[in-house]
Amino acid sequence: MLADFKIELKLRFATSRCRCIIKHRSLTYVFPEAWETMSVHLFRPRIVGPELGVQDAVAECLPQLFKSKYPLWAGSSLSIGAGRPDLVVVSCPPLVYALARVDLPTAQILAYLRAVGRALPETISERTGKSFKTVMACLKSLQEVRAVLEKADKYELSSSWRNILPEIVAIEAKVTDWRKAISQAARNRIFAHKSFVALPEGVARRVRREALFAKLGIGILGVDGDDVRVVKLPRRHLPRAWTYYYQLAEVVANYSKRTNNVVPRTHSGRSGRIF
C-alpha cells in the first residue's frame, strides 16, 4: 500500500511505446525493436497531479534518453540531502554491487578518500568523526572488495572506485513553474553529473533561451504526450558532495540483495533517505 513507505513499488514502463526524438548529433540513442521494460523504484507515494504525467512520460523513455554501456538504475523521490529529485538515473558498473557485501557505513570514508587522495587511518578517524576501531573495520571491509588500497600505512581509493558511478542524472518535472524547477535542478548538481528540468513541450521551447539555464548548466526535456525531446543539453558537472555520491552508490548496491521488496535502510536507520 502507498501508506507504507518501506514497500518498494515498481512501475514497469514500456519503452517501445515512447518515441524519443533527439536532434543533437552529439547524442546517440538506440530505439528498441522489441518490447522492453525498466523499473523505477519509488521512495515516496506518488502525488496525483499534472506534473505526474510529465514525470511518467520521461520515465518511460529513460533507456533511450540516457544510453549507457552499464545497466541503469532509476529512483523516484529519493531524498538526497535537502532535495528529493523526481527522478534519478544512475549508470551502474558491476563493481558497485560489491558494496552490498559491506555491512558497515563506508560512504563517508569513501568520500573523504575521494577528496584527499590518501590518508592515515588516524587522520580518517579524526576528519570523519568515527572511532579508530570503526575506521579500521570499514577499511578492512573496503579492502576485501578492492575498493581501497593500502600503501605505506596510508589508504587510498582504487582507481575504478574514484568514479564508481560514471553518470548520475537528476530530473525535476514541472508543468508551468520552470523557475522553481531550475532552483531544484541547480541543487541536484551537488551529487549529479547532469541535471535536467522536464517541461511540457510548449513551455520548454518558450524558456529554452532563458539565461539561467545556460548560466547553471541545466538541461531541458520537452514532453508532448508520449514524445520526449532534448530541448537543451546540460553541462556536465563533477559532483561536489562526495558523501551523497557514495551513499547513492550504497543504495543502488543494496538493491542487489533486497528481499521481500523492502526498501533498504540507510545507515541512519531510516528508510529511503540519503543524508
199 pairs with which residues across the strands? Answer: 222
pLDDT score of 257: 61
The candidate with the shortest Cα–Cα distance to 201, out of 54, 31, 87, is: 54
What is the domain partition of the chain in residue ranges? 9-93+165-232, 95-163+241-274
Same fold, 9-93+165-232 and 95-163+241-274: no
pTM of the model: 0.79
Tell me which of 3.10.640, 2.50.20, 3.40.50, 3.40.720 is the CATH number of domain 9-93+165-232: 3.10.640
For residue 263, the number of C-alpha atoms closer than 13 Å in the C-beta half-sphere is: 23
The dotted CATH code for 95-163+241-274 is 1.10.10.10
Pairing of strands 194-200, 154-157: unpaired
C-alpha span between 78 and 40 (Å, rounded): 11
pLDDT score of 175: 94
C-alpha span between 128 and 109 (Å, rounded): 7
Q: How does pLDDT run along the chain (275 residues), one tens digit per residue?
A: 323 323 233 344 333 344 443 333 333 323 333 334 568 899 888 888 889 999 999 999 898 898 888 999 999 999 998 889 999 999 999 999 999 888 888 999 999 999 999 999 999 999 999 999 999 999 999 999 999 999 999 999 999 999 999 999 999 999 989 999 999 999 999 999 999 999 999 999 999 999 999 999 999 999 999 899 999 999 999 999 999 999 999 999 987 665 333 333 333 333 333 43
Handedness of CA 55, 57, 60, 61 (dihedral sign): negative
Handedness of CA 263, 5, 191, 200 (dihedral sign): positive
> Three-state SS for 257?
helix
